[in-house]
Structure 1
Amino acid sequence: MNIADVVSGRAKLKGTRWVLLSATARKVLADQLRALLPSGAAVGPCRLREARFEPGRKITAYYDALVNTDKPERYHVRPIAVTWGSNTDADRHEETGDLAKVQAEAVRHGVAAPFLQLMADSPEWSMRVRVSPLDARFIQLARLSDPQHVRAILAEAHASGNAGSDRRRVSDYNYTITSIKYRPGKRHVLRYDPVDPAKGGTVFAKLYIGEDGARAFRREDGARAFRVAQGVADWLAGHGEGVNGLRPLAYVAEDAVVLYPQVCGVPLSDYARCPNRVVARWLQQAGAALCTLHHLPVALAGRPEPHDFAAEIRSIVGKSHHIPVLLPQLESAIEALFDRAGELHERLPQEPPTFTHGDLKTEHMWVAAGGLTVMDFDSSRLADPALDVGYFLADWQFRHAAYDQAGVDETYKSFLAGYAAAAPKERLIRARLYEAVELVKCAVRRMPLFEQNWASCTAGLVGRAEAVINDLQRTLGLPARPLLVHP
């Protein structure tokens, strides 16, 4: 198999799966990692967590690699990012220079070990390997992975947030640091667990771009996210009944990081496997909680510019370039679906935009004894509130892809019973339209590319989206159309 054919898309789905899953490609990756470690170090299995394909440009995969420099039972997990694709010599030279500085910073903080180097290139495979905490855009990642620096910022956060906190005592705590999400150039989340649980709770650190050359808007991302999360938590504390916003502990400007406490409870997504009678109660509360969120002051929205239906479709299309290459039979079906959705949207009554969450997956609502806690407001914006309703319903379908549609419909009733009491009928009709396009979003962005049944599951979600639009057309007294894809 030729790497150039894989990256260009000429090798189709078979080529993509070969570079991600074949024994040959796995051996090359293990050899690259072994070359970065001390002599005698062992490299265990690399667990593939996520993969992205941009035809003609690159394939990017994120792994948790097991490495060991001591005994077999002492393997440690280290996140890595691997990219196959071409870039120019000038780009490669500039990137290597920037990364060398970040690597030196990681060594200085003692967070590179056991790796001797944090980057490797294999020209033969057009392959670049990057090891956490290496990232030229998030230059603060190395120091935020340093236990000594973590103790200092957490002591400051506790002292500023609690007048009774003893900063000197907190600064003596030791923390275990785990990378939850390592996505170079995009996003990072770290977890800080106290070595002695009696001395404090777990803290999560969400990083924002910290490079000096970042655009002013991006440099403000962290401060903006903190203000929104804090504002939402304050408002819900006074107006929410049975719903809370996750309140951040602090924003550390010099590190461009927002610190959050651990949430008690379980994500609503875990209830997808529960009997209907168990999940119905929480889905109804989720609907009521979302209705409350849509009454938040519009000034709290993180992005003040309105996001309309056409913009949502454009954003999905922009992330779907791999579909015509890997599943060409779906390309025309998705185009036809978006055309139908646009035509229907123009027929429907509209309403002024409200505060919206913008990324309301069931994993962003947590169930606890005191009610629901909503988190991750980074995508909050002014938009049609039907967007949140539709995405929530699409996410629930995505998590029930292997279940029969009748069971999903029953859970819909519970959610809408909680939401619809204070919502206009026209909004719920538009929500079905958003549900259809968000099902396509789930299909093209969230189905793991490396799964054996990726093609059939992706087609199944697109088929469900078609069925939603047909159902909506019948509701509006319009003729339905034959399904191009059968779920």
Structure 2
Amino acid sequence: MHICVLSDTRDHPTLTAFAEILAPTDTVEVLDPSHANEFADPVRFADVYLLKSRSARAVALGHSLRRSGGVVVNDPVGTANCQHRLRMARRATVAGLPFAPTHAFTRLSEFVRQASSHAFPVVVKSTRSRRADLVAKVDDLRQLRSLEARWAGEPVVVQEFLPNDGWDYKLWAIGEEVFLARRRSRLDPDAPATTHPVGDEAFKSGLRALARRIGEAFSLLVHGVDVLLTARGPIVVDINAFPGCRGVSGAPQALAALVREVASRRAQRAGTVPVVPPRVAPTVLPALHRAVGRLVSDPDVRLRVSRVRRKPGQGLVVSYAAGSARPVLLASLAEHAAADPGVTDLLAGVGSLAVRGVRPTVVELPSIGLTVRSFPCDEGLPGLPAALGPVPGDQLSTRLADACRLVLDDPSARVVSVRATPIRYKPGSRCVIRYQITAAARDRADLRELVVYGKVYRDLGVGLVAHRVAEALWCTGMPFVARPLAVVRELDLVLSEAAGGADRQGQVDGNKLLSPHWASEDPQTAVAAVAACATALARLHVDCPADGLADLTCGATYARRARGWAAALAGHAPGFAGEMARLSSALVEALRSAPSTVRTPVHGAFKPSQVVFCGPTRPVVIDFDGTGLGDPALDQGYFLAYLRPRGRALRQAESGAWCHAARQRFLEVHLDGLLAGGLAEGEVDEVRRRAHLYEAAVLLKIASRHSRRVASPRPRALHAALAVAWDCLRRFESGAVSAA
């Protein structure tokens, strides 16, 4: 067994002892995540990855490893939640844990201005946990102001100081093992760091149970907890993902046992076919709608279903709106309940069940597996409410004002009003916000209207990479990128200029312009737009700076994804299961056995929806979340898959003819651009050949997406998708270059 520890400290005593325990039969390698690129084959490189480091780079690497099939301890999402103290408090509160009441401020100076209304003493902490951060007990306003000199701009959380017995109770959980000790409070500067045992057996039993509940709530296998014993009982004040456990007797042995158990479970799962959740039982959706209606019980709100999603391992998620496209409620049903017809009776009785949570923000029914949240309350996006409600003087308003001055090229410009509207929302993952800003110059009476876009991320590390890519492209004068403006770290928010800048006009969404319907009205404009996209993509491949881009294992990643998409389709359309298995096997083998020798910057998901047109020959790419260093054939195949006729267009001869012409034009322009950019003719031929494989994989993705959204399988469309995917495989094997 090979274990890879992602840590910026190589000589930690616990890790050293852990490696010695495993040394007779297993190997332990320590890698600094700040210097590690993505692994070529994470599943083969290590049996288990230990996410010891909690840096943004380490968390991003942990996400990448999990997406590629690696086994990572701890969960990167749980790790990130513990690094953000406001997110930690919200997660703990929703889970019903006894957590210290916590309030957030975008900067310490904001709290100082409001402190007269707060009771002292309080505990002030940096919002983001890190080395040498702010943690201080503040007894009065004078002491608070003394902190302001150094920490004025620091985002902070403020907790009520809870009278206690003077001890910090330290809990270290490693798998099922929980180690306990107590130390004098770190808020007392004169307290010794000596660790003492916890004597009371009943008290210890309760603390161990609390530690295990926290692990379940945060999806952590290795974590530390700080608890105070107050008049209200034990209260959690801090949670740490993968603590050092320095000096904790038995910790290295427990960690070794946990790793062996995790590796054993991995070995048992190896080679198994992905488990596809059954379709939603027909009685569940109506029962869920009625239950949500009873929980909300607002006569002024008429709810309608705006979106239904069913994703493997993620249960059922239903979005509700009221009179507009803006989401109002999100109802999620856990995986175990989504396919169980028996849950219908439980949903029918929600009015009589004990509700945990605060109406109407979050309502949780753990016995059913039902959670109902009011938008914008989203556990995965804790910065979303503040991102949708900028307040004069807060950090977001300041950044928007700076953006106005930059876009208008007017240092005297000031913001008159801001209207924030969510325009694309994926629960728990991301939300795109349009900020419509009215601005004025100090010496002019006329007002200017401009638009800035913001994107709130679950994992800000992804947003930072996209922001850096956009900055690099903008600085090199690329015409197909919107100007990046700012990052608001406290909200996990990235800001960028609208496509076309302050003088934008006549923008057309790529999905609309690059569609058979639009082409039937203006075919020449549509073909010109396709060619412009090909030119932009070629420039991204040959001119984008590669510095700092993560290595993407495109072939291995899409082999794994194609296998999952095919399995999902087979689960929803059993009549196609045999053919799906044969196609999946051939496609996965081809993707794995033909590694690319061409490496360039790649977009990662280049398709019409990623483009906005400021004129038919001026596309602007609006999303760089998946950009990295990889196989350019991925982008070509991705875009070509979306130029295939779908739905009603399958039955329209003129639509098929336009799609064929558009695909051929895209290929000609893109391949010519690669040659002009310096790729050898043999390399360009390899890109075209491998693009057939990625196109086949993306066709499976498109087909499986309809199934995930609980749409009924359409045999004709599915049969057509499989036929095209088989054709892509045959063209790869024959080395065909032209468009089909």
TM band (smaller chain): 0.7 to 0.9
Given candidates 430, 441, 453, the residue that maps to 1:204 is 453
Matched residue, 1:42: 301
Matched residue, 2:491: 255
Greater Cα radius of gyration, structure 1 or 2: 2
- Counterparts of 2:397 and 2:646 in 1: how far apart (Å)? 38
- Counterparts of 2:461 and 2:382 in 1: how far apart (Å)? 15
Taking a change above 3 Å as real, the CA distance of residues 87 and 442 of structure 1, as seen in their structure-2 partners, is: closer
- Counterparts of 1:322 and 1:60 in 2: how far apart (Å)? 17
Matched residue, 2:82: none
Matched residue, 1:108: none
Matched residue, 2:606: 360
Q: What per-residue deviation string (whole Å, max 9, x for no partner) do you get for residues 44-95 of structure 1?
A: 32322x412326x62223x24217xxxxxxx79434322112689xxxxxxx
Q: Is the 8 A contact 1:159 1:166 kept in 2?
A: yes
Matched residue, 1:72: none
Q: Residue type matched to 2:532 in 1?
A: Q
Matched residue, 2:147: none
Deviation at 1:157, TM superposition (A): 3.2
Q: Residue type matched to 2:531 in 1?
A: Q
Q: Is the 8 A contact 1:301 1:382 kept in 2?
A: no
Q: Is the 8 A contact 1:444 1:458 kept in 2?
A: no
Given candidates 17, 32, 42, the residue that maps to 2:295 is 32
Matched residue, 1:4: none
- Counterparts of 1:26 and 1:455 in 2: how far apart (Å)? 29
Q: Is the 8 A contact 1:64 1:78 kept in 2?
A: yes
- Counterparts of 1:348 and 1:268 in 2: how far apart (Å)? 32
Matched residue, 2:728: 468
1:244 aligned onto 2:480 = yes
Matched residue, 2:572: 326
Matched residue, 2:372: 129
Taking a change above 3 Å as real, the CA distance of residues 475 and 164 of structure 1, as seen in their structure-2 partners, is: closer
Taking a change above 3 Å as real, the CA distance of residues 333 and 254 of structure 1, as seen in their structure-2 partners, is: same
TM-score (norm 1): 0.74
Deviation at 1:121, TM superposition (A): 3.4
1:80 aligned onto 2:329 = yes
Matched residue, 1:220: 461
Aligned residue pair count = 411
Deviation at 1:118, TM superposition (A): 1.5
**Greater relative contact order, per chain length (Cα 8 Å cut-off, separation 6+):** 1
- Counterparts of 1:350 and 1:447 in 2: how far apart (Å)? 31
Deviation at 1:375, TM superposition (A): 2.1
Q: Residue type matched to 1:374 in 2?
A: V
- Single out whichever of 429-438 and 386-395 deviates more from structure 2: 429-438
- Counterparts of 2:493 and 2:634 in 1: how far apart (Å)? 28
Taking a change above 3 Å as real, the CA distance of residues 301 and 29 of structure 1, as seen in their structure-2 partners, is: farther
Q: Residue type matched to 2:698 in 1?
A: E
Q: Is the 8 A contact 2:551 2:628 kept in 1?
A: yes
Matched residue, 2:315: 58
1:33-432 alignment, distance < 5 Å? 33-34=296-297, 37=298, 40-48=299-307, 50-54=308-312, 58-61=315-318, 63-66=319-322, 77-85=326-334, 117-122=360-365, 126-148=369-391, 149=394, 150-159=396-405, 164-166=410-412, 169-170=414-415, 173-194=416-437, 198-209=447-458, 218-235=459-476, 237=477, 240=478, 243-263=479-499, 264=504, 265-271=507-513, 272=515, 273=517, 274-275=519-520, 276-297=523-544, 299-300=546-547, 302=549, 304-318=550-564, 322-345=568-591, 350-369=596-615, 371-397=618-644, 402-403=649-650, 404=653, 405-423=656-674, 424-432=684-692
SS of the residue corresponding to residue 199 of structure 1 reads strand
Q: Is the 8 A contact 2:556 2:592 kept in 1?
A: no
Q: Residue type matched to 1:66 in 2?
A: A
Taking a change above 3 Å as real, the CA distance of residues 219 and 187 of structure 1, as seen in their structure-2 partners, is: closer
Q: Is the 8 A contact 2:636 2:691 kept in 1?
A: yes
SS of the residue corresponding to residue 82 of structure 1 reads strand
Deviation at 1:419, TM superposition (A): 1.1
Deviation at 1:458, TM superposition (A): 4.0
Deviation at 1:292, TM superposition (A): 1.2
- Single out whichever of 193-202 and 369-378 deviates more from structure 2: 193-202
Q: Is the 8 A contact 1:301 1:355 kept in 2?
A: no
- Counterparts of 1:77 and 1:420 in 2: how far apart (Å)? 41
Taking a change above 3 Å as real, the CA distance of residues 134 and 325 of structure 1, as seen in their structure-2 partners, is: same
Q: Is the 8 A contact 1:447 1:458 kept in 2?
A: no
- Counterparts of 2:536 and 2:493 in 1: how far apart (Å)? 28
1:435 aligned onto 2:695 = yes
- Counterparts of 2:659 and 2:402 in 1: how far apart (Å)? 47
Q: What per-residue deviation string (whole Å, max 9, x for no partner) do you get for residues 9-31 of structure 1?
A: 88x54x456544x4x44333322
- Counterparts of 2:526 and 2:667 in 1: how far apart (Å)? 13
Deviation at 1:389, TM superposition (A): 0.2
- Counterparts of 1:313 and 1:179 in 2: how far apart (Å)? 34
SS of the residue corresponding to residue 411 of structure 2 reads coil
Q: Is the 8 A contact 2:690 2:732 kept in 1?
A: no
- Counterparts of 1:155 and 1:441 in 2: how far apart (Å)? 41
- Counterparts of 2:334 and 2:384 in 1: how far apart (Å)? 25
Deviation at 1:406, TM superposition (A): 4.0
Deviation at 1:387, TM superposition (A): 0.4
- Counterparts of 1:401 and 1:266 in 2: how far apart (Å)? 22
Taking a change above 3 Å as real, the CA distance of residues 199 and 16 of structure 1, as seen in their structure-2 partners, is: farther
Q: Provide structure 1 residue ranges, at least 5 long, that are not aligned to the other structure.
A: 1-7, 68-74, 89-98, 104-115, 210-217, 478-487
- Counterparts of 2:489 and 2:705 in 1: how far apart (Å)? 32
Q: Residue type matched to 1:41 in 2?
A: D
SS of the residue corresponding to residue 428 of structure 2 reads coil
Q: CA RMSD in A?
A: 3.4
Give percent identity, aligned residues only: 22
SS of the residue corresponding to residue 245 of structure 1 reads coil
SS of the residue corresponding to residue 200 of structure 1 reads strand
- Counterparts of 1:252 and 1:138 in 2: how far apart (Å)? 13
1:434-453 alignment, distance < 5 Å? 434-445=694-705, 449-452=709-712
Q: What per-residue deviation string (whole Å, max 9, x for no partner) do you get for residues 311-353 of structure 1?
A: 2121343466543432233344333223323444577684231
Matched residue, 2:27: none
Q: Provide structure 2 residue ranges, at least 5 long, that are not aligned to the other structure.
A: 1-274, 338-355, 441-446, 675-683
Q: Residue type matched to 1:119 in 2?
A: V
SS of the residue corresponding to residue 42 of structure 1 reads coil
- Counterparts of 2:593 and 2:379 in 1: how far apart (Å)? 48
- Counterparts of 2:329 and 2:577 in 1: how far apart (Å)? 32
Q: Is the 8 A contact 1:45 1:65 kept in 2?
A: yes
